[in-house]
């Protein structure tokens, strides 16, 4: 993130304490403990008749400590409230204490995050755990150790190091490497950032996993505000590609680029045949472009074959373009399978772990998330997220609205409404102070669906007596590619969706994929209708995992060298419920 964002402090979540006439938490606690201790002797001097003094003495002391605790906790809330804009977090903690189960906020996410990063530079890195009601899945010890080693690699070879300067000079000069001389000490993967925010996040996560598997430094193209939306994930270094990168036109690379891996194989510049037995006189290019976009050809998708990976491993610089979540394709590479099994014993948690490790909202975005959460979501008993994807310039659709209401009510996520003029046949709702509440977070480019849902639950009572509040942070009406304010709101809304307790998403939407993965939520997916004038039956279905769907997979079995259904090759990879040809990772059977 930029230094000016740290120094400005205009959108910070944690404010410095005021020095005027404020007691410290310690002095407040000490003050009440002294009063409690003073009261204890009086209690001891008046034991109840027939009872031994020692039990009475301990009971009195316990009462004194309890009194001090009851009085001190609000003081602590006030004290720490000056340092955080998350009062609802403390309220939830107090409620949990009353229920006898204090929430455990693991700020390092089971070791996924390295400790020691200055929180002022990225408030969300360690604060976000307090906003989640579910702890999330635990990473494997092997993944944790691998991440620490990769962070060391990023620091050793990343921008600003002698190794990076040397590799950059080799790339600038076009210097080639003789095959058979071994892999360079420092290798690099540049991930091109383009298309919508959800696509960019999934592409960066995919590139990072490939970098980890192949011991490459990941450098993310700074286009589309990637450096403004996210904090630096790697302690002590940057993941943002410096502006003096020698390949000045890399963002324009396409399927036609001569240096694409597929084109170089086609033109016999390099060969994937008998790589290990190749002559050392054969030279490898200074870099290769990996085209894994939605329009990738069968030759481009040879990337998922072992023979081709053996060629790519010795090329020092790779530039990758994708708008998809290619991780299921990496599970098809036989050479990666053992490592992937150790990293992710639960294969349906890959993006859950990678997303929480990599994507921390910048301080400005985190301010939007925290303020909205505290104002509209924190106090509700249950938070339900509804992500409405409107494709193209489709008009407001009553059929889609019916699909939303039918899905949420059928699955018990939202209560049904009483028919106007018909008295309730159910048990009368409890008194207002005890009435359960639901906060519904709607994210959509359109305001129409939010307006309709809000009106429904305002104008008519629910059969359960629950109070339902409907909220929508923004409505941009159409997607603004590359607009900073648009992407800032989108990232905040994705993160807010990930904080809900139950999630309904639109099929085929990367926006929803990111939210479900970050939150560890297996969503209910609304199926995209073949005919927009007909509500699908069923309107939605529970997904098979929280993993994103890979929309442009290969249809080729590298082992038998012929076309195949890649959803049937390895047990961890199956077809998606929202994109029949897509692939996704599923829980172990």
Beta bridge partners of 38: none
**pLDDT confidence tier of residue 197, bands split at 50, 70 and 90:** very high
Report the pLDDT value the prediction gives residue 481, as an integer from 0 to 100.
58
Distance set, CA 2 to CA 125, 173, 323, 521 (Å) = 16, 31, 26, 32
Q: Angle between the 510-519 and 484-498 helix axes, to the nearest 10 degrees? A: 40
Report the pLDDT value the prediction gives residue 429, as an integer from 0 to 100.
56
Q: How far apart are CA 556 and CA 134, in angstroms?
A: 39
Let me know: does 344 contact 400? Beta carbons within 8 Å. no
Report the pLDDT value the prediction gives residue 271, as an integer from 0 to 100.
87
Let me know: does 356 contact 136? Beta carbons within 8 Å. yes
Beta bridge partners of 468: 438
| Residue in the structure block whose two tokens are 């070879």 | 157
Q: Which residues are CB-neighbours of 69 under 8 A, at least 6 positions away?
A: none
Report the pLDDT value the prediction gives residue 175, as an integer from 0 to 100.
73
Residue 100 has pLDDT above 90, yes or no: no
SS3 percent helix, strand, coil of the chain, rounded to 5, is 45, 10, 45
Which residue spans of the chain are classified as CATH 3.40.50.11350? 363-419+431-585
Among 229, 233, 241, CA closest to 197: 229
Residue 292 has pLDDT above 90, yes or no: yes
Q: To the nearest whole percent, how much of the chain has pLDDT over 90?
A: 69
What is the maximum alpha-carbon separation in the chain? 101
| Strand blocks (E) in 395-466 | 437-443
Residue 470 has pLDDT above 50, yes or no: yes
Q: How far apart are CA 547 and CA 350, in angstroms?
A: 7
HSE-up of 178 (CA within 13 Å, CB side)?
5
Residue 280 has pLDDT above 80, yes or no: no
Q: How far apart are CA 166 and CA 169, in angstroms?
A: 5
Segment 467-474 shows an average pLDDT of: 96
Segment 308-324 shows an average pLDDT of: 97
Report the pLDDT value the prediction gives residue 91, as an integer from 0 to 100.
44
Residue 90 has pLDDT above 50, yes or no: no
Buried b (16+ CB within 10 A) or exposed e, 497-517: bbbbbbbbbbbbbbbbbbbbb
Question: pLDDT tens for residues 42-51?
Answer: 443 344 333 3
**pLDDT confidence tier of residue 55, bands split at 50, 70 and 90:** very low
Segment 158-175 shows an average pLDDT of: 94
**Against a cut of 0.85, is the pTM above it?**
no
Residue 199 has pLDDT above 60, yes or no: yes
* Phi, psi angle pair for 379, to nearest 5°: -80, -15
Segment 131-150 shows an average pLDDT of: 96
pLDDT, averaged across the chain: 83
Among 514, 218, 234, 212, CA closest to 342: 212
Report the pLDDT value the prediction gives residue 282, as an integer from 0 to 100.
65
Structure tokens at 208: 């990072």
Report the pLDDT value the prediction gives residue 2, as an integer from 0 to 100.
38
Report the pLDDT value the prediction gives residue 65, as an integer from 0 to 100.
42
End-to-end CA, the chain: 41
The CATH code of domain 363-419+431-585 reads: 3.40.50.11350
Q: Which residue has the higher pLDDT, 476 or 288?
A: 288
Q: Which residue has the higher pLDDT, 100 or 1?
A: 1
Among 98, 241, 228, 104, CA closest to 164: 241
Q: How far apart are CA 68 and CA 376, in angstroms?
A: 32
Question: pLDDT tens for residues 507-565?
Answer: 999 999 999 999 999 999 999 887 767 899 999 999 999 999 999 999 999 999 999 99
Report the pLDDT value the prediction gives residue 73, as an integer from 0 to 100.
42
Let me know: does 124 contact 231? Beta carbons within 8 Å. yes
């Amino acid at each position: 993130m930029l230094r000016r964002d740290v120094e400005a402090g205009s959108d910070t979540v944690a404010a410095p304490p005021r020095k005027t006439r404020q007691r410290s938490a310690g002095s407040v606690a000490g003050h009440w403990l002294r009063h409690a201790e003073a009261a204890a002797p009086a209690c001891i001097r008046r034991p109840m008749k027939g009872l031994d003094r020692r039990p009475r003495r301990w009971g009195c002391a316990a009462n004194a400590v309890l009194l001090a605790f009851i009085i001190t906790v609000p003081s602590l809330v006030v004290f720490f409230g000056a340092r955080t804009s998350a009062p609802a977090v403390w309220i939830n903690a107090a409620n949990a204490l009353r229920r006898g189960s204090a929430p455990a906020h693991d700020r390092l996410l089971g070791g996924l995050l390295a400790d020691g990063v200055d929180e002022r530079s990225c408030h969300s890195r360690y604060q976000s755990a307090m906003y989640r009601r579910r702890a999330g899945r635990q990473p494997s010890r092997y993944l944790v150790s691998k991440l620490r080693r990769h962070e060391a690699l990023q620091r050793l070879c990343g921008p600003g190091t002698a190794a990076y300067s040397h590799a950059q000079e080799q790339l600038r000069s076009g210097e080639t490497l003789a095959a058979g001389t071994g892999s360079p000490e420092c290798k690099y993967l540049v991930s091109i950032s383009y298309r919508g925010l959800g696509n960019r996040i999934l592409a960066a996560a995919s590139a990072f996993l490939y970098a980890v598997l192949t011991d490459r430094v990941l450098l993310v193209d700074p286009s589309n505000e990637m450096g403004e939306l996210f904090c630096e994930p790697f302690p002590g270094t940057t993941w943002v590609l410096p502006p003096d990168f020698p390949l000045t036109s890399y963002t324009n690379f396409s399927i036609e680029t001569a240096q694409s891996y597929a084109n170089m194989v086609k033109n016999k510049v390099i060969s994937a045949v008998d790589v290990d037995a190749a002559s050392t006189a054969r030279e490898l290019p200074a870099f290769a472009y990996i085209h894994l976009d939605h329009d990738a050809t069968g030759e481009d998708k040879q990337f998922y074959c072992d023979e081709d990976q053996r060629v790519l491993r010795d090329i020092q610089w790779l530039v990758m373009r994708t708008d998809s979540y290619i991780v299921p394709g990496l599970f098809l590479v036989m050479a990666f399978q053992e490592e992937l099994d150790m990293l992710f014993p639960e294969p349906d948690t890959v993006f859950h772990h990678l997303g929480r490790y990599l994507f921390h909202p910048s301080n400005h975005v985190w301010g939007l998330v925290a303020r909205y959460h505290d104002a509209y979501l924190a106090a509700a008993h249950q938070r339900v997220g509804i992500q409405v994807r409107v494709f193209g310039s489709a008009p407001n659709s009553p059929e889609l609205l019916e699909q939303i209401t039918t899905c949420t009510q059928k699955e018990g996520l939202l209560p049904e409404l009483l028919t106007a003029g018909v008295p309730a046949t159910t048990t009368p709702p409890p008194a207002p102070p005890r009435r359960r509440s639901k906060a519904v977070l709607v994210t959509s480019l359109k305001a129409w669906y939010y307006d309709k849902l809000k009106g429904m639950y305002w104008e008519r009572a629910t059969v359960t007596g629950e109070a339902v509040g409907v909220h929508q942070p923004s409505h941009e009406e159409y997607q603004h590619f590359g607009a900073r304010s648009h992407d800032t709101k989108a990232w905040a809304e994705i993160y807010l969706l990930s904080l809900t307790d139950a999630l309904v998403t639109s099929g085929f939407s990367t926006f929803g994929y990111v939210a479900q993965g970050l939150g560890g939520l297996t969503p209910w997916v609304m199926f995209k209708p073949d005919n927009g004038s007909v509500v699908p039956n069923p309107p939605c279905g529970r997904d098979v995992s929280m993993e994103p769907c890979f929309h442009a997979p290969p249809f080729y079995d590298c082992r038998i060298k012929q076309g195949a259904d890649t959803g049937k090759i390895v047990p961890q990879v199956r077809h998606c419920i929202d994109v029949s040809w897509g692939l996704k990772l599923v829980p172990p059977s």
